[in-house]
Amino acid sequence: MKNLKYYTYATLLFAAGLAFYLVNSIKYSIDEEARINAAEDKVIEKLKMIRDAQIGFQSVNGKFANEWDSLLNFVENGKIFLIQRREETVLLDYGAEETTLYLDTLGSVTVIDSLFSSIPNFKASNLIFVPGYENVKFEIWASKIEKGGVEVDVVEVRNPKPFDPNRKESNEANINKPLRFGSRTSITTAGNWE
């Protein structure tokens, strides 16, 4: 009878230890996933800001910035022109229409006021750093590629040090690669999180 009590207590103690271990490991997994998601959300927000700056740079300069100095100088000192487009269509005597396009420059606005005015305490120099790391910079690449016999501008900016250990450059699916926007082979500025 005494042995049965010891076995019962030992089984209860083992069950309690196993339950504690299982709950702890599940909680750790959930907490780790939440930490990774929060960190990646900050990286995505920063990549969206960089994408807006690159699109603005390309609209003014006709190409994407291939180095941080050019992009930061544009963000800090550049201007975006406000252009009004209007069309005038005239019916010709023989029934055809003639359309004239007018582009009027209304003025300009600074890049910071245009793109980043809603961000409190915005500093252009902080754009280049990956959130969560002190000295890790986003990798920037811009060039021209040929598509359909035409040279087009392409850009890619990516996080070189992902928070998620499963995000590797060797992954087949683009959504499982490190966070990035743009492509070295396609005409896109879409992010792989979208």
Q: Tell me how far apart the terminal alpha carbons of the chain are, to the nearest angstrom.
A: 65
CA–CA distance, 127 with 121 (Å, rounded to integer) = 12
Contacts of 100 (CB under 8 A, 6+ apart): 87, 88, 89, 90
Strands 97-110 and 79-91: antiparallel
Cα distance between residue 160 and residue 130, in whole Å = 9
- Global confidence as pTM: 0.76
Residue 81: CB atoms within 10 A of its CB come to 11
Question: What is the pLDDT at residue 78?
Answer: 85
- The model's confidence at residue 192, banded by pLDDT at 50, 70 and 90, is confident
The Cα–Cα gap between 89 and 101 comes to: 9
1 falls in which pLDDT band (50, 70, 90)? low
Tell me the pLDDT tens digit for each residue of 91-143.
Answer: 888 878 888 888 888 877 888 877 887 888 888 888 889 888 888 899 999 98
Those residues with Cβ within 8 angstroms of residue 168's Cβ, 6 or more apart along the chain or in another chain:
162, 176, 177, 178
Half-sphere exposure of 150 (CA within 13 A, CB side): 6
Residue 117: predicted pLDDT: 79
In the predicted structure, residue 84 carries a pLDDT above the cut 70: yes
Which of 60, 41, 53, 191 lies closest to 122 in space, CA to CA? 53
